[in-house]
Amino acid sequence: MKTPKENFPVELAAAAEELSEYLLAAEPFIVYKRAQNHFSADLQAQRLLEQLSSLQSSLRSAQSNRNVSETDIQQLRGLQNDVRQNATIMEYAQAQQNAINYLREINQEISQLLGLDFAALARQTTC
Amino acid sequence: MIHDELDELEIAPPDVVRQVARNFAATLSETRQFMDFEAAAERLNHDQPAQKAIADFQTKQQSLQMMIRLNAVSPADQAELERLQHAYLSEASVVDYIQAQQALVAICQAAGEIISQAIGLDYSASCSASCCG
């Protein structure tokens, strides 16, 4: 639901922007952004994730037709192992998870003061 | 490795970030929409006829849970369920509560969107077990 601009308090927008600035300056987000930049610059890592995603997608389709071979399974496990061994991908994934965990702490701080779960209130309705 | 490269001056101290988060919460709690919602919730909580109408609907709904899951509710039960739902939705304090809740959700979604766009992560999805609750 989009709120008309005249109903959106200016002070709240300013407070949201200030919170955003400080979140970006928090260590978990600085680390996350740097890991994200490393990943964006690493074409091999990106290709590896794309290959894994593509294989998982095709195997899901094959599975519905009971058409998954042992070779397919081994290929999947091989790619999964390659992803686990890729330092750029692992660093990015860990940094993202740490940023998410930090965001949950911040949400708890906000929600405790409000007496309501802010993240639940802010949830976009489309899934 | 990355931690060694961080310039301490670039990092916002955790206590400061938490205080800014509390400031955000305080600002939200002072909005008209938040105060209207709290007032509507208080009125609804103390409105005994409305509370009874809600309870009657929930009791009926719970008694039909299995049939609802099977999509096998009888026409009579369906009609009764709809009658009870209409009854509680017609209560003034319920209408006020729903409207106040929608207004509050709208500004929280807008605020969440500001934060999500800035940080590059979906704020609500990150804080939920799943994107659908």
Task: Give dist(CA A114, CA B111) in Å, integer.
Answer: 15
Look at A110 and B22 and tell me if their CB atoms are within 8 Å.
Answer: yes
Give the per-residue pLDDT at B100: 97
- At B40-53, the pLDDT tens digits run 999 999 999 999 99
Chain A residues with CB-CB distance to B133 below 8 A: 120, 123
pLDDT category at A124 given cuts 50, 70, 90 is: confident
pLDDT category at A4 given cuts 50, 70, 90 is: low
Using CA atoms in the order B121, B122, B123, B129, what is the torsion angle rounded to 10 degrees? Answer: -110
Nearest alpha-carbon partner for A104 in B27, B131, B23, B125:
B125
Work out the widest C-alpha separation in chain B, in whole angstroms. 70
Instruction: Flag the least confident range among A6-10, A123-127, B122-126.
Output: A123-127
Give the per-residue pLDDT at B132: 44
Give the per-residue pLDDT at A60: 87
Chain B interface disruption, residue of A7, A12, A38, most B CBs within 10 A? A12
Average model confidence (pLDDT) across chain A:
92
Distances (CA, A) of B35 to A17, A30, B31: 22, 35, 6
Nearest alpha-carbon partner for B116 in A123, A108, A38:
A123
Q: Cβ of B126: how many Cβ atoms within 10 Å?
A: 20
- At A63-80, the pLDDT tens digits run 888 888 889 899 999 999
Q: Of all residues in chain B, what percent carry a pLDDT higher than 70?
A: 89
Give the per-residue pLDDT at B74: 94
Chain A residues with CB-CB distance to B35 below 8 A: none
- Whether A125 shows a pLDDT value over 90: the answer reads no
Instruction: Report B:98-127 residues touching A (Cβ under 8 A).
Output: 102-115, 118-121, 123-127
**Nearest CB partner across the interface for B10, out of A20, A30, A99:** A30
How much is the ipTM here? Answer: 0.86
- At A22-44, the pLDDT tens digits run 999 999 999 999 999 999 999 99
Q: Nearest residue on chain A to B31, judged by CA atoms?
A: A9
- Whether B8 shows a pLDDT value over 80: the answer reads no
Tokens of A121: 């209130």
- At B24-80, the pLDDT tens digits run 999 999 999 999 999 999 999 999 999 999 999 999 999 999 999 999 999 999 999
Distances (CA, A) of B58 to A14, B52, B55, B61: 41, 10, 5, 5
Look-up of token digits 């009926």: B60
Chain A residues with CB-CB distance to B6 below 8 A: 27, 30-31
pLDDT category at B129 given cuts 50, 70, 90 is: low
**Nearest CB partner across the interface for A1, out of B21, B109, B120:** B109
- Mean pLDDT on B92-101: 97
Q: Of all residues in chain A, what percent carry a pLDDT higher than 90?
A: 78
Q: Nearest residue on chain B to A30, judged by CA atoms?
A: B11
**Nearest CB partner across the interface for A114, out of B17, B29, B107:** B29
Distances (CA, A) of B76 to B54, B64, B66: 20, 12, 16
Tokens of B109: 């979604």
Give the per-residue pLDDT at A63: 80
How close does chain B come to A71, measured CA to CA in Å?
33
Instruction: Report B:26-65 residues touching A (Cβ under 8 A).
Output: 26-34
